[in-house]
Amino acid sequence: MTTSLEDGVMMKAEGLAKSFVLHNQGGVRLDVFSGLDLQVSRGECLILAGPSGAGKSSLLRSLYANYKPQAGSVLVRHDDTVVDLCSAEPYEILEVRRRTLGYVSQFLRVIPRVPTIDLVVEPLTVRGVDPAEARERAGTLLARLRIPEALWGLPPATFSGGEQQRVNIAMTFVQDYPILLLDEPTASLDLENRRTVTDLIDEARQRGAAIVGIFHDAEVRAAVGTRSYDLTERKAA
């Protein structure tokens, strides 16, 4: 396995293998992918392709270190170092997530009863951004994502699915992560909001972010993707 990254490469997975053991079904082992290699560089948006069940979301979670692969490495360029998320200590993974690796999941998971504006501000204040500036940036992004200002002081638990997804997106795009992992970020959105999120993704790529994403919408894939990676060709035997 390599322990360094070529110039411009921000994330590289090598020899990645992931399986699940179904303990409630007699210990059946489900192999998701094996021997998987991929990399993404600055300014790229790599589209994960394949039918439902191909392992796209499992791969994204493995790249984010939510899932621990059985084999392989996930190298991430973090400041002036390279971190292997498959062998890193928990505090190292948290630090990479705080400053380098952003992730938009399909579902909003937040602390209950925290106002929406505070949820979006929090990633900035953790990094030491001035509170007034952080609040201004958060408000600007929420307005762009068409979250009414009347809702900013409310927790998002009672919001519609589309509103919750836009809050989810705002919590990640409020800061300029060098690497972004996106799991169907536009799935719950109407046409106008899909176009706004497409613009945000393209702007992130234009500033040099390396992006890996799953997009069910062909129009969004065509608008943001620079190349495709088909998991059906990397399925475990």
In tens, the pLDDT along 161-217 reads 999 999 999 999 999 999 999 999 998 899 999 999 999 999 999 999 999 999 989
Given a cut of 90, whether residue 74 has pLDDT beyond it is yes
Residue 121 is inside which H or E element, if any?
A: helix 116-126
Whole-number average pLDDT of the chain = 93
183 strand-pairing partners: 214
Q: Looking at residue 1, what is its pLDDT?
A: 54
**176 secondary structure, DSSP code:** -
Residue 8 lies in a domain: no
Residue 203 contacts by C-beta under 8 Å, 6 or more apart in sequence?
Answer: none
Residue 16 lies in a domain: no
Contact indicator for 125, 134 with CB cutoff of 8 Å: yes
Residue 81 lies in a domain: no
- Please give the residue range of the domain that contains residue 187: 42-68+89-233
Give the mean pLDDT of 111-128.
Answer: 93
Contact indicator for 119, 152 with CB cutoff of 8 Å: no
Q: Looking at residue 2, what is its pLDDT?
A: 59
Residue 48 lies in a domain: yes
Say what percent of the chain tops pLDDT 90. 81
Q: Binning pLDDT at 50, 70 and 90, where does residue 234 land? A: low
Residue 11 contacts by C-beta under 8 Å, 6 or more apart in sequence?
Answer: 39, 40, 63, 74, 75, 76, 77, 179, 210, 212
Give the mean pLDDT of 144-171.
Answer: 95
CATH number, domain containing residue 174: 3.40.50.300
Give the mean pLDDT of 68-93.
Answer: 96
Strand-strand pairing, 45-49 and 210-214: parallel
Sign of the torsion angle spanned by Cα atoms 58, 41, 105, 217: negative
For 11, what's the count of Cα atoms within 13 Å in the CB-facing half-sphere?
28
Give the mean pLDDT of 114-121.
Answer: 96
Q: Binning pLDDT at 50, 70 and 90, where does residue 237 land? A: very low
Residue 220 lies in a domain: yes
For residues 104 and 119, what is the distance between their CA atoms, to the nearest angstrom? 14
For residues 12 and 76, what is the distance between their CA atoms, to the nearest angstrom? 7
Residue 199 lies in a domain: yes
What is the count of structural domains for the chain? 1
Q: Binning pLDDT at 50, 70 and 90, where does residue 235 land? A: low
102 strand-pairing partners: 180
Given a cut of 60, whether residue 11 has pLDDT beyond it is yes
Residue 190 contacts by C-beta under 8 Å, 6 or more apart in sequence?
Answer: 162
Write 24-28 long-range contacts (CB < 8 A, 24+): none
Structure tokens at 172: 């990640």
Residue 121 lies in a domain: yes
For residues 97 and 85, what is the distance between their CA atoms, to the nearest angstrom? 10
Structure tokens at 11: 């994330």
Residue 37 lies in a domain: no
3-state secondary structure of 197: helix
Environment class of residue 68 by beta-carbon count within 10 Å: exposed (0-12), middle (13-18) or buried (19+)? exposed
Give the mean pLDDT of 5-21.
Answer: 94
